[in-house]
Structure 1
Amino acid sequence: MDGATYTQKRGQLLDYFDRTAVQAWTRLTSDAPVGRIRATVRAGRDAMRAQLLSLLPDDLRGARVLDAGCGTGALALEAARRGAEVVAIDLSPTLVGLARQRAAGEDGADRVTFRVGDMLSPSLGTFDHAVAMDSLIHYRPDDVARALGALAPRVRSSIAFTFAPWTPALGAMHAVGRLFPRSDRAPAVEPVRDAALRHRLASEPALAGWRAGGGGRISTGFYISQALELRR
């Protein structure tokens, strides 16, 4: 998939995570002390990572897993510790460099291949499972469905991903955020209604034969995200 919306937003995300927010993101994903707001985000991300991992088999020996939008690589390492061969890819060279640095010497690191690039690239090959944690929260339902449709032909069993669930509070925050100067804000999160997303996924031709299954919402202070699993 290479639609204008996806490509445009991909460029914004690269600029933000590889330049604007590098120091904040490095600290957030470490054990370093953070303020109250960021602490809720850290706790929420930890909980969501655990939830997505719970959707994967406990024994991943012989399986190939894609960590789509791997960030600093925590999920990739956990999957590798279960025996998976993991391809962990992110747009940001800086974050991938940090992921490699943190993985060095860790159990399972030898089963993780870190890559810089687009998570939808066919050159990555085929997988048994794909996980996209908070990689699609900046996209509208049409773009989410098309992105998953582009990935699905190369995944044999399951795709687990997250989206930003619409709530009155998140909807209001999204609207207010648009009032700030573009230079002062992160790429916008797109609040999505669960029913609308499921309907759009069901109508995506490339996802024929896939069904939406379990997941769950994590809400901890300033972090809110919802998981959804697609299975063949």
Structure 2
Amino acid sequence: MQIQPVLKKFALLNQYPSLIHAFSTRKGGVSDPPFHYLNLGLSTADDPERVKANRRLFFEALNIKEDRLVFPQQVHSANIQIVKKAGVVAECDALITDTPNLFLTVQTADCFPVFVYDPQNKVTAVIHSGWRGTAQNIVGKTIRAMRETFRCAPQNILVGIGPGVQKSCYQIDEKTAQYFDKQFLSPDGPGHFKLDLLEAIVLQLTEQGVLLEHIERDATCTHCATDEYFSYRRDGNYSGRMMGVIGMVK
């Protein structure tokens, strides 16, 4: 078993030496099946001590001290918080900071993790965007908050969208479909549709002025990539969690 975490990064963000970012896969780590191996979710039924060990491996691989982390208490909302210190932020699905050596985190297992960086104003953000958050335009609202609070110019903002459940595997019912424009929906049997959540997120970004060439996507489907990513839609309560992190060092 490979213990060292296998991490992914965005080329668009990787060009800045003072920016640390990554999102995890399920490869590496110490958890036993069905949470094998790099489960980073303490809310799962996995052994908490193994999850804590996995987190240590993850953050050590990035040279991040755990007392400099911010954890949003994700509730599938459009709540956004500007943070200046480490800790847990209640009922929140997006974090923004201009504080160096403060690292923002997000956990996913089908929802999309969105990483945001303004290299001009030195502002970072991270967003948890599942269908509920996307229906409430959490990504667009986060970009707007960066503009209003930190005077970030949208054309300078860079975005990496991590892996999530892709349209081919994302069937929804009519009740959920009503929250989305028809351009993101494809009929999939009586009363059901396939939802392109990734493209809905991209539109929210460009509507706020983010340039399309400043958006990098990992189009891997978490539901399909059984050996690479956890998926709640695929595995239910036996699914672990991936984690993303972004922050600036002095």
Give the TM-score taking structure 1 as reference length.
Answer: 0.39
RCO greater where, 1 or 2, for CA within 8 Å and sep 6 or more? 2
Structure (1/2) with the larger strand percentage? 2
Give the TM-score taking structure 2 as reference length.
Answer: 0.36
